[in-house]
Amino acid sequence: MREDLKLRLERFKGQFPVDASVEDRVARPPVEFIGEEILELAVSALLQGAGIPMYAAALGKDTADVRALDLSNAAVVIGSEGRGVSQAVLEVCSGTLSIPMSRRCESLNAAVAAAVILWEMARETLAGTGPEQ
C-alpha cells in the first residue's frame, strides 16, 4: 500500500475512540475523513490477509473473461459508471475481468454488470462448474 494512503488510514483509526457512541459514528461517517479510495484499499488489505483474490470489472492488459476465472471464493470491484475503478484499487487487484458482449454493445450499466458477475459467481459455486472444478 502506498505510504500516503497508509498515513491516512492510521489517522482514520484514531478518529473514533473505542467507547465512541453510535451517534458519534453516524454523525461522522468514516468516508468523510478518509475518502472512498482509502476505504477500498483497507478492504483490499483485509481480503489479501484472508487469502481472497480481488478482481476489478475493468478493461486492462490482463483482462480475463469472467467465465474463465474461479470466482467461487473471490471479491469483485465494480467501478462507478463515470469514473470506473480507481487506479489505486486496480493496482492491488489480482487482475481484471470482463463480461463477453456483442460487438454492438459498448458497455453495461454498473448495476447490470454487477448482477451478471454475481450470477456467474453463484453459478460456479452452486453448480461446481468453476474453471478448476
Same domain, 73 and 122: yes
Residue 133 has pLDDT above 80, yes or no: no
Dihedral angle sign, alpha carbons of residues 43, 45, 47, 49: negative
Report the pLDDT value the prediction gives residue 55, as an integer from 0 to 100: 92
**Rounded average pLDDT over 109-121:** 91
Decide: pTM greater than 0.75.
no
Angle at 38 between CA 59 and CA 53, to 5 degrees: 50
Question: In the chain, how many domains are there?
Answer: 2
**6 alpha-carbon distance from chain centroid:** 18
Same domain, 30 and 61: no
Same domain, 35 and 78: no
Do residues 58 and 39 touch, judged by C-beta distance below 8 A?
no
Report the pLDDT value the prediction gives residue 56, as an integer from 0 to 100: 92
Same domain, 61 and 107: yes
Same domain, 57 and 114: yes
Same domain, 96 and 73: yes
Same domain, 34 and 75: no
Q: Within a 10 A sphere around the Cβ of 113, how many other Cβ atoms?
A: 21
Same domain, 11 and 60: no
Same domain, 9 and 40: yes
Residue pLDDT, tens place only, 33-62: 456 666 677 777 788 888 889 999 998 888
Same domain, 31 and 67: no
Same domain, 63 and 118: yes
Distance, in Å, from the CA atom of 25 to the CA atom of 30, rounded to the nearest integer, reads 8
**Rounded average pLDDT over 103-112:** 85
Report the pLDDT value the prediction gives residue 132, as an integer from 0 to 100: 53
Range of the domain at 32: 1-51
> 30: pLDDT confidence band, cut at 50, 70 and 90?
very low
Q: The CATH number of the domain where 72 resides is what?
A: 3.40.1280.10
Mean pLDDT rounded to a whole number for the chain: 75
Same domain, 61 and 105: yes
